[in-house]
Amino acid sequence: MLRKFIAFILFLVILVVFFLNAPRIVNSADLKILAQIENEKLNLFDKKFQLNSIIYWNRINKVTKVSSNYNFNDIFAENSIFYNGKDFLLSKEQNQFFVIDKKTEGKKYLADAEIALTSKDSNLFALVKKNGLEISFFQFVPLENRAIEIKKEVFSCFWTDYKITKNSFYFSLMNGNCYIFNPFELISSESVIKDSPFIYSISANSSSNNFIIISGFEPQKIYLLNKDGNILYQSQLNENYTSVYSYLLDNQMLIIKNPSSLLLYKIYWNKEKKLELLNNINIKGEILDLVEFYSYFVFICSDTKDFQLAVYDYKSKRFYKKNLREPIYQIEMIDSNGVFAVYNQDKLWILSLNQEL
């Protein structure tokens, strides 16, 4: 009788330990909200916090510049849509694009186009015509306060995904090709990836010319490739998804996001290339934005109904989340030590990653 009782207790203990260690994302009380701005009305929750840099709050139809003493200035144009770049903004008015220097706020006409492709970390950007195939590549030069058109291209097919790093453009095309353009090394190539009829996602970082794609269906695979499009390594994913994206971080971590879960890998680029699965959590939706810090990365995930702000801590190797109960779409880094802003068109929150998460 005693043995049975002890066995039952041990079983319960094992069950509890199992559920405690199951991959999940916990709420973080240490992700502090320092301030909240709603339509230019400020609520400062942490009075010791001082804003030392300018936030360019993109509100789609205007950009509100939040300066260090919480002054608000709008950069506005009639019926326009704004895009964020590193040292510049783009404004689309009707079908015309204008580039705006962040420092001088000088505005210059660029070209007629339908959409712009920008990255908050890069001064490279692209404009795409309505046909979806004609693309012009630009570089914003901060010292000259202007954007230079580097090259025009016509793609052979529409793209599924793209990434703009500090020095290159990467596109995955629907016909199984990848297009890479590095204007600094004057490398431009459209590679046909072997055995790849359809590419879902492409990712790259600024620290190397290698890149990652997710390709194929039944089976769906991750490929590591070099700048010439040669396959260095491939790994099959356990399941196929119609919507799947990859993100290659600067510290060689790879995120694969499908509609229901997030997989985090470490990539080894040495002689024996490999992917090591570090973490796998259930989190629904698509990554809307992501920012990398030295010890963490922060991202917003949404399935249209719920919006979650999530953090991964490299030290503890765990995920944490915070639900702001409101739609949030974009993240802006304020301080590389862990202060950032998240926002939608009307509200902005300034948060801090506590060092002791």
Partner 1 sequence: MDSFTESGALIMNKSKLILICLFFLLLIMILPFSNKAAQNIFLVKDFCNWSNSFLPAVQFYTSDYKLNSNFSAELIYNKNTISPYQQDSIFKDLAIYKSGNKFIGLTDLSYPPLKIGPKDEIEFTKNTIYCFLIENGIFINPIEFLKPVISTSVSIVNVYYLNEEDVAVAFRANYKNNIIPILIYAYSTYLSGRFAFTSNVYKIEIFLDDEIIYERKLDIVSKKKIVELLLTSSRPQFIKYIISNVADGEHILRVRVYDFNNNFKEIQKKFTVKSY
Q: Give the rounded distance of the alpha carbon of 337 from its chain centre.
A: 19
Of residues 199 and 351, the one with the C-beta less far from partner 1 = 199
57 binds partner 1 (CB under 8 A): no
Q: Residue 327's closest CA among 291, 279, 289?
A: 289
Of residues 145 and 177, the one with the C-beta less far from partner 1 = 177
Beta-carbon contacts of 270 under 8 Å, excluding residues fewer than 6 positions away, are none
DSSP letters for 199-233: EEEEEE-TT-S-EEEEE-SSS-EEEEE-TT--EEE
Of residues 171 and 267, the one with the C-beta less far from partner 1 = 171
Q: Where are the beta strands (DSSP E) in 59-95?
A: 62-66, 72-76, 80-84, 88-93
188 binds partner 1 (CB under 8 A): no
237 binds partner 1 (CB under 8 A): no
Q: Which helix (H) or strand (E) holds 3?
A: helix 2-21
Between residue 193 and residue 212, which ones bind partner 1 under the rule CB under 8 A?
198, 200
Report, in Å, the least distance between residue 267 CB and partner 1: 25
- Are the C-beta atoms of residues 331 and 350 closer than 8 Å to each other? no
x-marked contacts with partner 1 along 249-288 as a string, rule CB under 8 A: ------------------------------------xx-x
Q: Are strands 318-322 and 26-27 parallel, antiparallel or unpaired?
A: parallel
85 binds partner 1 (CB under 8 A): no
329 binds partner 1 (CB under 8 A): yes
313 binds partner 1 (CB under 8 A): no
Which range in 17-25, 123-131, 274-282, 318-326 contacts partner 1 by CB under 8 A? 123-131
- Are the C-beta atoms of residues 225 and 241 closer than 8 Å to each other? no
Q: Where are the beta strands (DSSP E) in 85-186?
A: 88-93, 96-101, 107-112, 115-117, 124-128, 134-141, 146-154, 159-164, 169-173, 177-182
42 binds partner 1 (CB under 8 A): no
Torsion from C-alpha of 35, 39, 40, 45, nearest 10 degrees: -20
Of residues 159 and 296, the one with the C-beta less far from partner 1 = 159
Of residues 116 and 334, the one with the C-beta less far from partner 1 = 116
Question: Which residue from 75, 128, 202, 255 is in contact with partner 1, where contact means CB under 8 A?
Answer: 128
Q: How many CB atoms lie within 10 A of CB 24?
A: 13
Question: Which residue from 175, 182, 206, 295 is in contact with partner 1, where contact means CB under 8 A?
Answer: 175
Report, in Å, the least distance between residue 346 CB and partner 1: 11
Residues interacting with partner 1, by CB under 8 A? Answer: 58, 60, 81, 83, 92, 112, 114-118, 128, 130-134, 154, 156-158, 160, 162, 174-177, 198, 200, 217, 242-243, 285-286, 288, 302-304, 329-330, 345
